[in-house]
Structure 1
Amino acid sequence: MPIDVMMPFYGDVAQFRQAVTSVLAQRDGDLRLVVIDDCYPDPEPREWLTSLTDPRVHYLRNETNLGVNGNFRRCVELVEAEHFVVMGCDDVMLPDYLGTVRALARDHPDAVVIAPGVEVIDDRDDVVRPLGDRIKAFLTPKPAVGAAATTLTGEAMATSLYHGNWTYFPSLLWRTAAVRDVGFRPGLEIVLDLALLVDLAATGGSLVHDPTVVFRYRRHEASVSSVQAVDGRRFAEENAFFAVEARRCADLGWHRAARAARFHATSRLNHAQSRVLTAIAALRRANARP
């Protein structure tokens, strides 16, 4: 059965072409690629995409700009397959990505999320390891001796993610029915993926992680999260989110998860360390203070 690769688009045209090409070059070609154009003003991406003769490629353009959260919700509405990916239009699938996540989903039929191994690249396609990604690597659960993958469920899954969201959203394979039951929380742009993951954990869902690297996630300064970190919006959204989560976990009797949500140390330390020097250098003392 095909896997739906949903690709919300609004961004760099060259990187978009690279992302699409990497999807169509998968060794496991049983897929449907759906590009959802969020009213990008340049017609070149649309013209290039519609010129492709591959029947697996589908193009849709939103009537109005929906923004990050709205376009992600639109992606979920349009999914037809049992499993789907919401891939960034600047990321890259390595050739064995789909085959790997499909096999993991088959071997772990109860999993609602599959998280494969990821390497980070910059705008020049060079593999990089910024501080935040080194922290992610440290927090990523390691498989038990003799096991190929790690499974997290319920409170253990939520606690791990509150300590630090070590997943890379565009690389995740989701079970469609489970995601539709929960949905993306309205109003979130930075932590909408983390919110979905912990909402699935609260329903008893499980996450399977295999460290085999099959996906390349692009890290660059123009991303929504990077821009909002500098002007303080990211801190505000995360702090509000974790406060709500701490109360919810306490109500569920998830005491370890509640402590992790209240402290959310990695979120604080990672963003402060990576952005404070930039803010000070630009004499933005008000932005550096948070």
Structure 2
Amino acid sequence: MTTLDIMLPYYGNVALMQAAVRSVLAQSDPNWRLTVVDDGKEPSVPGWFAEIDDPRVSYQRNERNLGVTGNYRKCLGLVREEHFVMMGTDDIMLPEYVATVRRVLKDHPGVGMIQPGVQVIDGDGNPTEGLVDQSKRRLYKPRFQGELLMSGEPLATNLLRGNWLFFPSICWRTAAVRKAGFRDNLEVTQDLALLIDMIQDGERMLVSDTICFQYRRHAVSISSQQAFTGARFEEANRFFMEVADRLDGQGWTKAAKASRLHLSSRIHALTMLPGALKNKQSEGARTLLRHVTGADHR
């Protein structure tokens, strides 16, 4: 089996990034390669990586800021193996992550995406599960034990009802991601767009209940800040409507209906309304309300 490429597009908190890197170094399976692409300007970071005495770890800093999508694309271009992970800069790989993923790849060669079991943690590293994560797990995530292989319109319909996956924890088949690519006009829905593109192209997803990754959920993030102004949901609405038309053209009418309804996104907008009002984002509150009622796509 091949080595697993772990790509880390970095920007943000130095200490959390260092914790992420240390979690990769602590993997029980040594068959990995870590590539860090620094899109920031923190002066201490290059020196810290220079002290890591491990040939599997490489680091480079961008000459100019590429932004989220630009850095994703650069990382994708640097992948050398058949499968890779686009790890979050503040997430944690538990020691058995690489071993778990490589075992799945051995049992299911050719699978496009692998979603292992994930534990959500807060900014301090403590296990947490807010309302959004609870609803995704209870309402949208399929119930299974062990492993579940999913594909086609049923998978697309499921994810468009509620995206319960964790993008930074997914192992991807490199050729399939390069074929689909990352979109220029998306940010907070970039992960779901990639997934739907790949599913429409025939890729399969293997879901495992083996918990081997920790996804950090911060109280305030880029996406939640945008949510208070409604920007996140303006983007989401454009995405869901465009995808629905494309799915109709493929004959996936059930998935198209789920995309037009985008119920979990509307429920999410409803939960953000009090925060928008508290932060005196009146225009944002109106945008959120239009998204909740479906007025923004009538």
The alpha carbon displacement at 1:269 in A equals 0.4
- 1:104 and 1:141 mapped to 2: Cα distance? 19
CA displacement at 1:157 relative to structure 2: 1.4
**Paired residue for 2:189, among 175, 188, 191?**
191
Match of 1:285 among 282, 287, 294: 282
Structure 1 residue corresponding to 2:169, chosen from 159, 168, 171: 171
Whole-Å separation in 1 of the counterparts to 2:50 and 2:226: 33
Matched to 1:200, the amino acid is M
Query: How far did 1:102 drift?
Result: 1.1
- 183-192 vs 257-266, greater mean Cα deviation: 183-192
Alignment of 1:129 with 2:129, yes or no, is yes
Q: Which residue of structure 1 lines up, in the alignment, with residue 142 of structure 2? A: 141
Q: Are 2:21 and 1:24 aligned?
A: no
Q: 1:261 aligns with which of 259, 262, 265?
A: 259
Give the corresponding residue for 1:106.
106
CA deviation after TM superposition for structure 1 residue 141, in Å: 1.4
Secondary structure of the structure 1 residue equivalent to 2:42: coil
Q: What is residue 291 of structure 2 aligned with on the other side?
A: none
- Once the two structures are superposed, the pairs formed by residues 80-99 of structure 1 within 5 Å of their partners are 80-99=80-99
Tell me the CA shift for residue 142 of structure 1: 2.0
1:76 aligns with 2:76: yes
Equivalent of 1:239 in 237, 240, 243: 237
CA distance in 1, matches of 2:41, 2:75: 20
Deviation beyond 4 Å, 4+ runs, structure 1: none
Cα deviation digits, residues 96-152 of structure 1 (max 9, x gap): 011101111221113100000111111111100011111221211122xxx621111
Shift of 1:88: 0.6
Compared with structure 1, are the counterparts of its residues 2 and 110 closer, same or farther at alpha carbon in structure 2 (3 Å cutoff)? Answer: closer
After TM superposition, the score normalised by the length of structure 2 is 0.93
Farther off after superposition, 103-112 or 163-172: 103-112
Instruction: State the match for 2:294 in structure 1.
Output: none
Residue identity opposite 1:36 in structure 2: V
Match of 1:208 in 2: 206
* AA of the residue aligned to 2:250: L
* Contact 2:94-2:214 at 8 Å conserved across structures: yes
Task: Tell me the SS of whatever aligns to 2:88.
Answer: coil
Aligned length: 285
Other structure's SS at 1:117 match: strand
TM-score by length of structure 1 reads 0.96
| Structure 1 segments unaligned to the other structure (5+ residues) | none
RMSD: 1.1
**Does structure 2 conserve the Cα–Cα contact (< 8 Å) formed by 1:163 and 1:264?**
yes
Find the aligned partners of 2:63 and 2:173 in 1 and give their Cα distance: 27
3-state DSSP class of the match of 2:35? Answer: strand
Q: Distance in 1 between matches of 2:161 and 2:137?
A: 13
Q: 2 CA distance for matches of 1:237 and 1:105? A: 34
Structure 2 equivalent of residue 65 of structure 1: 65
Given that 1:120 and 1:216 are in contact with CA atoms closer than 8 Å, whether structure 2 keeps it comes out as yes
Structure 1 residue 195: deviation in Å? 0.6
Give 1:268 shift.
1.1
8 Å CA contact retained: 2:228, 2:281? no
CA contact (8 A) 2:123 2:219 kept: no
Partner of 1:276: 273
Q: Secondary structure at the match of 2:172?
A: strand
Letter of the structure 2 residue corresponding to residue 11 of structure 1: G
Query: Which one-letter code corresponds to 1:188 in the other structure?
Result: L
Please state whether the residue corresponding to 2:194 is helix, strand or coil: helix
* 1:151 maps to 2:152: no
Percent identity over paired residues: 46
CA contact 2:163–2:192 (8 Å) conserved in 1 = yes
